[in-house]
A and B are shown apart, each in its own frame.
Chain A
C-alpha cells in the first residue's frame, strides 16, 4: 500500500469528510467555529504529509473536539457520519480514514447527547431509536475490518449511550394527546391540564398554535 496509489481515493474521502464537517458550522458556533474552519483548512492542505508523519488521526480528532466546543448541532454531525457511511473505500489508508472518522464522529455525537436537556420521554425515545440505527450501521461497517477493536468500542459506546438515554427517559413525562370538548385559550388549557397558567406558552409552542386565544380541540402536551 502507498499514499500515491490511494491518492485519488483518499483525496475524495478526506475532502468530502471535511466538506460535511464544514457544513456543521453555523453562525452560532462563534470563535470556536472560526478555529474549526482553520483546522479543517489546515487538514485539507496538509493531509498527505499528516498521514505520512502519522499526525493525521490527532489532527482530525482535534477538529471533532473543536466542533464539540463550538456547540456544533447534532444534525450537522449526522451529515458527517451519513457521508462516511456512504463511502466504499478500497485502499487500506482510505478505509482507516473512514473508520476513524466514524469513530470520532459518533464519539462526539455521544458527548453532545449526554449534555442535552430532554423535556419529554418521547424526545429521548426518538433520539434512542435514531442513535441505535446509526450505531447499527457503524458496527456493521466496523465488523468488516480485520481488527475487531473498532467494533468492540462502538458496541460498548452504543450500549452506554442507550443506557444513559434509558436512565434519562425514566423520570420524564410522556407526550400525550388531550381531547377537549370545546376550544379553549392556552391559559385556560394550561390551568386545566397542569393547574398553573405558567405553561401556556409551552402548549402554544408544542402545538404550533397561531393565536393563543384559539387553541385546537386536540392538543399534545406533557403528561405532567
Chain B
C-alpha cells in the first residue's frame, strides 16, 4: 500500500530534502514561520497629507517553529528521552549555531535561539512539543561600522614582509 509521502511533487521534495535541526540536534516540525520587514520611521508633517516613511534598514529575520519529538520503539533517528535533553541543551547553549530547515533555512544559517518552551502533557505521552523562536545571527560590527581583525592584518603583512626579505638576495652570488 502506498503512503501519502510517496506522492512526489516539488514542495514535498523540498520538505523531505533536509531534516530540521539546531546545533545538529534534529526535531520534527509541526509548523514554522518567518517574520521580517523594514525598520521605518514615519514622519508625519503638520498641515500636510503626505507622510514620509524613512527606511532604516531591514528588521532582523526571526523564525518561529512549533516542533516536537515523539517516542517510537526502535526509532532509527533518535532515542526519545536523550534527544529531548540534547535539544533543550542545544537551545540554551552559548553563542550562535546552525539552524537547518528545508523551507526557512535551507542549507543552514547562523542563528540564535531567543526563547523556547518545552511542553509535555498527560494526554500525549511520549510526545514533547517545543515552541522555538530564532533570530538570525548576522555579523558583528565595530562602532565605525567596519569589522576588522587588525592583529590578523599585522600577521599577514608580516608574513609578506618576510617573504619579500627572503627574495632580496641577488641571483648572482658566486665567489
A contact residues vs B (CB 8 Å cutoff):
1-4, 51-52, 54, 56-58, 61, 92-93, 96-97, 99-100, 103-104, 106-108, 110-111, 113-114, 147, 149-150, 153-154, 156-157, 159-161, 163-164, 167-168
Contact = CB atoms under 8 A, between A and B. Distances in A.
A96 B164 CA distance: 11
B143 to A, nearest CB: 8
A104 B165 contact: yes
Nearest to B158: A107
Contacts, number: 103
Q: Main SS of the interface on chain B?
A: helix
Interface of B: 148, 150-151, 153-162, 164-170, 172-175
A161 B154 contact: yes
A153 B165 CA distance: 10
Q: Main SS of the interface on chain A?
A: helix
Nearest to A98: B168
B174 A2 contact: yes
Contacts of A4: 175
A157 B157 contact: yes
B154 A114 contact: yes
Q: Closest 6 A-B residue pairs measured CB to CB?
A: A103-B165, A164-B150, A100-B165, A107-B158, A57-B166, A160-B153
B173 A54 contact: yes
Nearest to B172: A1
B166 A164 contact: no
A58 to B, nearest CB: 6
Contact of B154 (A51, A61, A93, A164): A164
